[in-house]
């Protein structure tokens, strides 16, 4: 499981996972959407494959990548359990109605829910709310 968390630690790898969540993509398509050259991305693909988060299928000269969503969900569930966070309001009675954020602020349970990779939605540099710096639009 440590390999999964190490793989998730890098923002480029989280962007790759977010893109693959929408559907399978080739290495070239991912390089174009992430804006990083294919040789640089190959190291990120290796880390994600070794962690079991993605799989690549070779078709001629291209590789199509797929997200292993079940392993990602398992890793997130284990992390939430470790932190004592109960999804969808379970266990709030024991933990109270509010909690402290990492910066010590009080957060209301009605705050924005975490995104697909555990990040809270917030406007980013392109004005979208994905928190990943990805443009909202066809893709």
pLDDT tens-digit series, residues 11-41 = 999 999 999 999 999 999 999 999 999 899 9
| Residue 17 CB coordination number (10 Å) | 22
- The chain-wide mean pLDDT, for the chain, equals 75
Every domain of the chain and the residues it spans:
1-85+111-130
Q: Please say whether the dihedral angle defined by the alpha carbons of residues 130, 135, 137 and 138, taken in this order, is positive or negative.
A: negative
Q: Which residue has the higher pLDDT, 97 or 67?
A: 67
Say what the pLDDT of residue 110 is.
Answer: 46
76: helix, coil or strand?
A: helix
Rounded-to-integer distance, Cα 120 and Cα 50, Å: 27
For 72, phi then psi, to 5°, come to: -60, -45
CATH architecture label of 1-85+111-130? Orthogonal Bundle (1.10)
Q: Is the pLDDT of residue 94 over 60?
A: no
Quickly state the pLDDT bin for 117 (edges 50, 70, 90).
low
Q: Where are the beta strands (DSSP E) in 20-69?
A: 25-26, 54-59, 62-67
62-86 per-position pLDDT tens digit:
999 999 988 888 888 888 988 888 7
């Amino acid at each position: 499981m440590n390999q999964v968390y190490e793989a998730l630690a890098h923002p480029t790898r989280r962007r790759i996972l977010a893109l693959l969540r929408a559907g399978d993509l080739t290495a070239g398509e991912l390089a174009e959407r992430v804006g990083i050259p294919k040789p640089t991305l190959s190291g990120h693909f290796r880390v994600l494959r070794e962690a079991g988060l993605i799989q690549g299928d070779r078709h001629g000269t291209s590789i199509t990548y797929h997200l292993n969503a079940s392993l990602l969900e398992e890793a997130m569930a284990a992390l939430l359990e470790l932190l004592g966070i109960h999804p969808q309001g379970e266990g709030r009675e024991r933990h109270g109605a509010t909690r402290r954020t990492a910066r010590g602020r009080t957060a209301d349970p009605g705050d924005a829910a975490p995104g697909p990779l555990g990040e809270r939605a917030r406007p980013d540099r392109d004005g979208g709310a994905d928190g990943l710096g990805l443009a909202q639009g066809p893709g």
